[in-house]
Amino acid sequence: MLTNQKIFLSSTKKDLEKERKSLTDMLKTADYEVCCMEWFGAFTRHPKDEVEDYVRQCPIYIILIGESYGSIPEIDNVLLGKSFTEFEYDAACKKCKEEGMVILCFKKEIERTDERLLKFVDQLGRSHGIANFKNAEDLPGIVLASLRRELNKPAFKSLFQKPEVEKPTEDQNEFSDDLKYFCNRYNQADAFDNSFYITNYQNPIHLFLLPGQKDDSHTSFVNRYACQFKYEGKNIVEVSVVTKYFPLQSELQLLARIKNEIRTQLIEQLSIPLRQITTDDIFDALAQAKGKKDVLIINLIIESSYLKENNILIYKKAIELFYNEIGSLKSKNEEKKILIFLLFRQSEGDQDKQLSSQITDDNSFLKDNKLPRLEKICIYDIEDWLRARKIEQNEDKISDTLQKYFPLYYNQPEQTFSMSKAEIILDKILFDKSKNP
């Protein structure tokens, strides 16, 4: 967890009261310090000057836009021409320019008639990506996903200091801070953010190998990044191809199967003709589709039980050929992206483990595209998570929480289960705790 995660929350109050409470409760649960104008108490200076100083003390600025433009301050009975919210935003922009700052904008999906507010929203849209939210329940997850993504960009890491912590033991697990969008191991999400996607953000084509257990479908991991694109206002289209194909005789046969399945699903979803599966054809189809799609996510699913000793090389060659074809761009299009997730699901059989290691431990083509493996967890890991997140610290309360939310595993502490099974429950614990601290 980064230190000095102090957030200035800027918004009008009356029209966004539920949203502000829902968001501040969740941010506090996630160990952020939230600062709002109405919490300042009494002070000597003019409110405009006071609030601008508070903004400059925070490395993170979040603005919520509702249906109200907000109250306008005055000096010597003369209105200043801008609302307090807009003055707060101006102060954040100044700090961002001089020292660096994370500025995140979120807009409620409602109609607006106030010309001053419409002008302000237009100004925000020209300077930042604005994420939309529907209601108080929708907002916290959107904000947490955006925060995690921004705070992991190299440009912002220098704004924060990491605390000195004891190095975890080899078998100790760490979980991410916002489980709804991570629902996987911390080191896997961290590797994805820092080593792969964020580092190569400008690239239009990405390939990732996610090795894991058979009952870890990886869908939550993929959904997290699909959600982030959606919250940035991007339109997503997603296809999934199970690469099982028998009899399997050559990599060209498997490659044709993969491309044909992708083509079929894209034609169905985009409702436009698509002759070939090349990057240029795909980008053209995304641009012509209704609503103009921005991101294509391709899930290539391999079960370890599909592998036979004479099939391993075919799979590797077919995937490499597919990636090389997709990666050969005639003209770079930074506005469109294709994310290819190779979802490898390994069963428990010894023979499958031996065969699958020849793909996941590949030292050539997949070496730089492989994320750390998803492993299974047990009830002790959940207990460590409750303490580390300071959700429960009293031993009796920890025991009660484990028994309440994980009744099947409470009396079998050594039994392991997949992170995907725990994801929804861990998210529910956070939500319940935020409502009843």
- Whether residue 121 sits in one domain with residue 206: no
Which residue, of 317, 347, 369, is where some domain finishes?
369
* 286, two tokens: 């995304």
The three-class DSSP label of residue 421 is: helix
In a domain, 284, yes or no: yes
**Does residue 161 or residue 87 have the better pLDDT?**
87
In a domain, 169, yes or no: no
pLDDT in tens, 314-345: 888 898 899 888 887 765 555 788 999 988 88
The least confident of 64-68, 214-218, 322-326 is: 214-218
Measured from the Cβ of residue 80, the count of other Cβ atoms closer than 10 Å reads 14
Q: Are residues 359 and 388 in the same domain?
A: no
Check whether residue 383 and residue 365 sit in a common domain: no
Would residue 99 count as lying in a domain?
yes
Are 272 and 360 members of one domain? yes
Among 104, 136, 157, the domain-final residue is: 157
Distance, in Å, from the CA atom of 344 to the CA atom of 269, rounded to the nearest integer, reads 25
Looking at the fold, whether 191 and 335 belong to one and the same domain comes out as yes
Residue 177 domain flag: no
CA atoms within 13 A on the CB side of 436: 3
- Residue 390 structural domain: 379-435
**Final residue in a domain of this structure, among 318, 349, 369:** 369
Residue 21: which residues within 8 A CB-CB, separation 6 or more?
Answer: 136
**Pair (149, 220) in one structural domain:** no
pLDDT digits (tens, 9 = 90+) for 236-269: 899 999 888 777 889 999 999 999 999 999 999 9
Looking at residue 307, its amino acid is L
Do 193 and 262 fall within a single domain?
Answer: yes
What was the pLDDT predicted at 383?
A: 84
Same-domain status, 288 and 394: no
Rounded to an integer, what distance in angstroms lies between the CA atom of residue 367 and that of residue 360? Answer: 8
175 found inside a domain: no
Phi-psi region of 41 (alpha: psi -120 to 50; beta: other; left: phi over 0): left
Query: Residues 365, 386: one domain?
Result: no
- DSSP annotation of 132: E
Within-domain flag for 47: yes
Quote the mean pLDDT of the chain. Answer: 78
Same domain, 226 and 332: yes
Do 355 and 411 belong together in one domain?
Answer: no
Split at pLDDT 50, 70, 90, the class of 161 is very low
Whether residue 257 is found in the same domain as residue 398: no
Tell me the per-residue pLDDT of 129-144, one tens digit each, with 9 for 90 and over.
888 888 888 788 788 7
**pTM of full prediction above 0.75:** no
- CA-CA-CA-CA torsion sign (404, 406, 408, 409): negative
Whether 166 is in a domain gets the answer no
C-alpha span between 39 and 106 (Å, rounded): 21
Q: What is the CATH number of the domain that holds 24?
A: 3.40.50.10140
3-class DSSP state of 107: strand
pLDDT score for 41: 44
Q: Of 143 and 197, which is predicted with more confidence?
A: 143
Return the pLDDT at 175: 43
Residue 176 lies in a domain: no
How many structural domains comprise the chain?
Answer: 3
